[in-house]
Amino acid sequence: MFEIRRTLVGVVTASAGAGALDGLVVPGRAFGCRTADDELMLLSVPQVTDEVVREVSTRLATLDPDALVIDTTDGWAAITVAGGGARSSFGLLSRLELPDAGFTQGEVVHVPAKVIADDEQVLILAPSMWEAHLLDRVTKALGATGRLETREWRVPTP
Amino acid sequence: MSLLVPCPRCGLRPQEEFTFGGELRALPSPDVEDFARVYLRENAPGPQRERWYHASGCRRWVTLTRDTVTNRIEPGVTPSGG
Amino acid sequence: MADGLRFEGRRVTVEPGDTVASALYRADVRTFTRSLKYHRRRGLWCVTGDCPNCMVNVDGDPGVRACMTDARDGQVVVRESGWPSAERDLLHVTDRLHRFLPVGFYSKTFIRPRFVWGLAERAIRRATGVGHLPIGRPASARPARALHVDLLVVGGGVAGLAAAAEAAAAGSRVVLVEERRLGATAWDARVRERIQTLAAEARAAGAEILEHHTAVGLYEGPFVPVVGPAEVLHVEAGRVVAATGAVEAHAVFPGNDLPGVFLARGAALLSIRHGVAPGRRAVVVATTDEGRASAAALRSAGMEVLIHDGPVIAAEGNGRILAVTLGTPSGRERITCDTLVLSLGWAPRDALLRMGTDQEVAGAGDVAIPGCSLEEAEASGRRAANGHDEAPSDVPTVPVGDEGYVCLCEDVSLHDLQQAWDEGWRSSEILKRYTTATMGPCQGAVCGRLLAAFAGARADAVATAGARTTSRPPARPLVLEDLAAGVDEMIEQRTSLHDRHLGLGARMERSGSWSRPTTFDAIDEEIRAVRHRAGLMDVGTLGKFLVAGRDAAELLDRVFPIRVRDLGPGRSRYLVALDEAGYVIDDGLLAALDHGRFYLCTTSGRAPAMEAWLRDWIDRWGLHVHLLDQTAQLGAILVAGPKARAILGRLTGDDVSAEALPHMRHADITVADVPCRAVRVGFVGEVGYELHHDRSRGPALYDALLEAGQVEGAQPFGLGALDVLRLEKAHLYLGQDTLPDDHPAKLGLEWAVAMDKPDFIGKRALERMGALPLERTLVGLRIDGEPRRGVPLLVGGRVVGRVTSCARSEAARGTIALGWVRAVDGSFPTELIAGHAVATVVPTPFYDPEGARLRV
């Protein structure tokens, strides 16, 4: 059994040299996803993205003065599948193999997506122009009916 | 068709997640004959250096070697690590 | 619900454990199908799902193997070959005409006169085929589920279950798939018992056993699609063990396809499992231990059984076997019988194994060691689980007689193969394609080895000519719904104004992958609004990129044919993007921001390609550039028309006057409390402000603009109006007005290319092409007739071009068009024929040629 929720996530994208990102200590209020050698996506609750931008900019400035840190929240739509069956039902959404805990990226419901999984839930982010598609396909594939609740995302406890 | 492409960052993925960039070609330069570089391809049977872009994943390019006869791919690296 | 199933108007009893085949056989049905070409009677033969003989229509589904399908009360079963019926088939006459219908006859006859083929083809189609499609039935979507396992075992016999138990006990994640119920094809009680025990062991160790799941192919990975009753599994396995078993070998002799001829396993299954005697008097020809054991079983079931260990010369009968001639040491012996049971060797079911030659796939049990004992099968399964790859045993082929059917599915006889060989088709692969042998429902499971042996044995055959033909998916028949499982065709991209458009009554259309409004009410009204008052359009679909980092200007300067270094903050420039061959791959706008950052806009739909293109150069040149795709993150609304400035003025305190924000400049302003990057553009030919904003603020901004615009008579407009407005200015649509080998000169866009720049991508190609005469160009046209896009342009009866865009224009007073034309005798024609109308080349733009409307 599981539940599906539309999720509000704050997203900050940091673009910097690989060495700088390797050396960056991610602020406690954010969860880092290393999407490429030169790119880090930081997830947080939506209200603190300004702070995350400030903190990460400050920390990166010493490591890479040319770094770019931008709030990209509006670029992403997110949905969470939570509960005991969340991980096992992921196969209905994607051919990706879910990590035990952490981040992966690839095609989910046929669009490029970022996935954060732990043992209780799976968070799926896709570019926001696919928001309607993401919500529709995930709910249909998992056999859910009715309106989706919307909830804010919480940083997973380590 | 079924082909698995090794992305150095994301791992072995189905080729549908990628855009194929073709044979690796020389960069434009005054020392390289431009006509052949732009229009002609080796297209030889055997190992071929090629460019693949992981569009559904990290959105970065990788250069790797694929044997055009057996379709076996050797893992590659992104030249500038990003 | 009355007892039994319904079969062609009769009630047929269903006993517990019956398949459709056993229930029908018990009810004295002997002819199950008529063969494909010659309409010969065919009855139960393998009874294990390997041959095509028992395919019937069950509950509306055609091509169902009766021997593989559990019988149920209430089922409706119909035979589907033969006309008017399987029992009385008038088309059986084709068997007598075999001489006139040689192999491949449809490639040689009915060719002249041409119309004959049309009639012949229809007749041939009606006479052949395995069933009728349930066309009225609505298609249902079958879900696909991805499964990641360490070991996938295909086949739930003794070997497969042993492999699953062994691997699961060692800690692997194991899934076993079996296409029937476990033990359904085992007639020996000892085997059935062992299967139950091993299944319990496997389950206890944690293996998952999926009955009624069929593996249909093997792809790189290994990746195995498995069709189950409710969903299709896409299995990604670390390793695969194929324990798919073996079917008894097919023997070729005259009369080998008569009803009453059985493979030994089939006869035993029918008799022992289902309690239906195949006949009264059987001749069992067995050279295998299992064959001899099945003879004993048939005898103890009450049949009169004669055992023979030697060749079969011929079988005779008329629609049913009556007698068999056997080869004995002393010569021949003819014996009357009503059943002939054969166990002359093995044909391993190695289709999946052979698909996996480059993969981590191992065989176990009968498929690797045909005819092995129970203990050997189990041991082989356990070995396979531990990584051992059984080298397949050499399977001796059964000697072939002078005549007989080789491919039962496609009705290809030995005589047909010989005829094809004589015509010059001399390898197994080419014989397959010419005669269609192995191309039927069994996909060579029964006849593949025989075809290869036939080619290999011919005296003049080359070594590879006798190779087995390539094994390709599917290994089992599939319905299209299985293939479509997991496919998604209708992925739609939306802006944040989507619901607003619907609320305003917009008619939406698909433009590439985007859902966009065509019109809100009437296209002509929307056009007039833009020209005389103002219009509002959602242009959030545009590609948008932030380009930053210390090498940003360097990258853009090297890649694009425009001068980037002199683009100061606040300025923007029209951009045409070229590939290395100088061809136009995109167009858009480049705006210089502060701090050495740039904002790049491209056509809707090409953002992903532009991102890949730029990242390739960043990577190859090792430049330090931050490239951020903001296509989804930012929306954009165009306010265009003579009243656009006035409307904006109501909503912003910032200076948006002609002096502060002239054409091709941009500024950060706040509109209705929404921060926007306002870019002056002129795509529709009127003063226009594109307001780029955070996607989430889009609806509020739109509402405010609509409300403020009402006073001025502004209207929302869509793609229908846009098409005409931009055409009036002769602005091109990439992909519609351009061809893949259009370089800027052919499109009248030389002005957008800075040829005096030291270098840019495509410059050398443009220099080369510039030295050649221009052979094609895009022109503006006035047409004195109906607008028709795509119509060819003619001069002197010859096609020299095509109309690429066309519309009736109020502002230009007539029908205007863009089209490309080829040079004729060194110059471009100015008067052409478009359909029934005259098209005249005219200067463009058609509306406001000086661009005065933009400088207001």
Q: Whole-angstrom Cα distance, residue C457 to residue C384? A: 34
**In this structure, which topology does domain A10-73 adopt according to CATH?**
Alpha-Beta Plaits (3.30.70)
pLDDT at B81: 38
Q: C221 and B2 in contact by Cβ < 8 A?
A: yes
Quick check: C127 and C91 in contact, CB under 8 A?
yes
- What CATH architecture does domain C1-139 belong to? Roll (3.10)
Q: Which chains touch B (3 or more CB pairs under 8 A)?
A: A, C
Residue A139, φ and ψ in degrees, nearest 5: -65, -40
State mean pLDDT over C341-355. Answer: 93
The pTM is what? Answer: 0.91
Tell me if the domain spanning B4-76 has CATH number 3.30.2270.10. yes
C546-583 tens-digit pLDDT: 999 999 999 999 999 999 999 999 999 999 999 999 99
Per-residue pLDDT of chain B (82 residues; tens, 9 = 90+): 579 999 999 999 999 999 999 999 999 988 788 899 999 999 999 999 999 999 999 999 999 999 999 889 986 655 443 3
Interface contact C581-B39, CB threshold 8 A: yes
Q: Chain C residues with CB inside 8 Å of B16's CB?
A: none
Residues 6+ apart with CB under 8 A from B20: B50, B51, B52, B53
E strands of C530-632, at which residues? 535-538, 543-548, 572-578, 584-592, 598-602, 626-629
DSSP secondary structure letter of residue C844 = S
**Would you call A8 an interface residue with chain C, using a CB distance cutoff of 8 Å?**
no
Side chain identity at residue A155, one-letter code: V
Torsion sign (Cα): C114, C120, C126, C130: negative
Query: Is B54 near chain C, with CB under 8 Å?
Result: no
CA distance C390 to A114: 42
Reduced to 3 states (helix: H, G, I; strand: E, B; else coil), residue C444 is: coil
Count CB pairs under 8 A between chains A and C.
Answer: 79
CATH class of C144-247+348-385: alpha beta
Residues of chain B neighbouring C219 (CB-CB closer than 8 A): 2
d(CA B2, CA A56): 42
pLDDT value at residue C1: 47
Assess contact for C834 and C828: CB atoms under 8 A. Answer: no
For residues A153 and C121, what is the distance between their CA atoms, to the nearest angstrom? 64
Instruction: Mutation target for B interface from A13, A15, A22, A37: give the one with most B CBs within 10 A.
Output: A37
What are the domain boundaries of chain A? 3-7+75-147, 10-73
Hey, how many other C-beta atoms are within 10 angstroms of the C-beta on C687?
25
Gyration radius (Cα) of chain A, Å: 16
Cβ–Cβ contact A75 with C under 8 A: yes
Contact: A15, C626; criterion CB under 8 Å:
yes
CB contact under 8 Å between B57 and A112, yes or no, is: yes
Query: What pLDDT score was predicted for residue B82?
Result: 36
Q: Is the pLDDT higher at B79 or at C683?
A: C683
Distance in Å, alpha carbon of C741 to nearest chain B alpha carbon: 13
* Residue C462: per-residue pLDDT: 66
Report the C-alpha gap between C291 and C268 in whole angstroms: 9
> What's residue A158's pLDDT?
61
Query: Which residues 6+ apart lie within 8 Å of C600 measured at CB?
Result: C543, C544, C545, C547, C556, C575, C588, C589, C590, C591, C610
Touching subunits of C (3+ CB pairs, under 8 Å) are A, B
Contact C250, C53 (CB under 8 A): no
**pLDDT (tens digit per residue) in C116-163:** 878 877 877 777 766 788 888 887 778 999 999 999 999 999 999 999
Q: What is the pLDDT of residues C799-855, one digit of tens each?
A: 999 999 999 999 999 999 999 999 999 899 999 999 889 999 999 999 999 999 998
- Structural tokens at position A91: 């196969």
For an interface test with A, the pick among B10, B19, B61 (most A C-beta atoms closer than 10 Å) comes out as B10
Distance CA A35, CA C65 (A): 50
Interface of B with A in 3-32 (CB under 8 A): 9-10, 13-14, 16-17
Please tell me the predicted confidence (pLDDT) of residue C100: 73
User: Which residues are CB-neighbours of C253 under 8 A, at least 6 positions away?
Assistant: C312, C313, C314, C315, C401, C402, C403, C404
Please compute the mean of the pLDDT values over residues C305-318 and round it to a whole number.
92
Does the beta-carbon distance from C619 to B78 stay under 8 Å?
Answer: yes
Domain boundaries, chain C: 1-139, 144-247+348-385, 252-343, 406-479, 498-726, 773-855
Q: What local confidence, expressed as pLDDT, does residue C673 receive?
A: 97
Q: How many angstroms separate the CA atoms of A126 and A111, rounded? A: 7
| Residue labelled with tokens 């009677």 | C41
Decide the pairing of beta strands C144-154 and C174-178.
parallel
- The answer to whether ipTM exceeds 0.90 is yes
Write down the number of H helices and E strands in chain C: 22, 44
Of C220, C608, C759, the CB nearest to B4: C220
Cα separation of C18 and C41, whole Å?
A: 23
Judge whether residue C228 has pLDDT over 80: yes
Which residues of chain A does B16 touch, with a Cβ-Cβ cutoff of 8 Å?
A: 107
Residue of higher predicted confidence among C295 and C103: C295
d(CA C524, CA C715): 12
Architecture of domain C773-855: Beta Barrel (2.40)
* Interface of chain C toward chain A, CB-CB under 8 angstroms: 143-148, 234, 236, 488, 491-496, 498, 514, 546, 548-550, 624, 626-634, 694-696
Check: CB of residue C368 under 8 Å from CB of residue C378: no
Residue C780 pLDDT exceeds 60? yes
Token code pair at residue C84: 């008017």
Instruction: Give rounded-to-5 percent helix, strand, coil for chain B.
Output: 10, 40, 50
Q: CA of C620, closest CA in chain B: separation in Å? A: 7
Query: Average per-residue pLDDT in chain A?
Result: 94
- Judge whether C457 and C398 are in contact, CB under 8 Å: no
- Pick one of 3.30.565.10, 3.50.50.60, 1.10.10.10, 3.10.129.10 as the CATH number of C252-343: 3.50.50.60
What are the residues facing C34 on neighbouring strands? C41
**Residue of C219, C608, C622 lying closest to B2 (CB–CB):** C219
Residues in chain B closer than 8 A to A38 (CB atoms): 81-82
A156 close to C (CB below 8 A): no
Best residue of C488, C620, C743, C763 to probe chain B, by most B CBs closer than 10 Å: C620
Who among C234, C495, C633 is closest to A75 (CB)? C633
Q: Per mean pLDDT, which range of A52-61, C236-245, C392-401, C734-743 is the poorest?
A: C392-401
The shortest C-alpha distance from B65 to chain A (Å) reads 21
Q: Say if CB C233 and CB C147 are below 8 A apart.
A: yes
Please give the pLDDT value at position A143.
87
- pLDDT per position as a tens digit, C451-510: 998 998 886 666 777 889 999 999 888 888 898 898 887 899 999 999 999 999 999 999
pLDDT tens profile C65-103: 999 999 999 999 999 988 778 888 877 877 877 777 777
What Å distances lie between residue C425 and C105, C252, C401, CA to CA?
Answer: 14, 21, 21
* Residue from B58, B61, B77, B78 whose CB has the most chain A CBs within 10 Å, to mutate: B58
Architecture, CATH, for domain A3-7+75-147: 2-Layer Sandwich (3.30)
Where are chain B's structural domains? 4-76
| Domain topology for C498-726 | Gyrase A; domain 2 (3.30.1360)
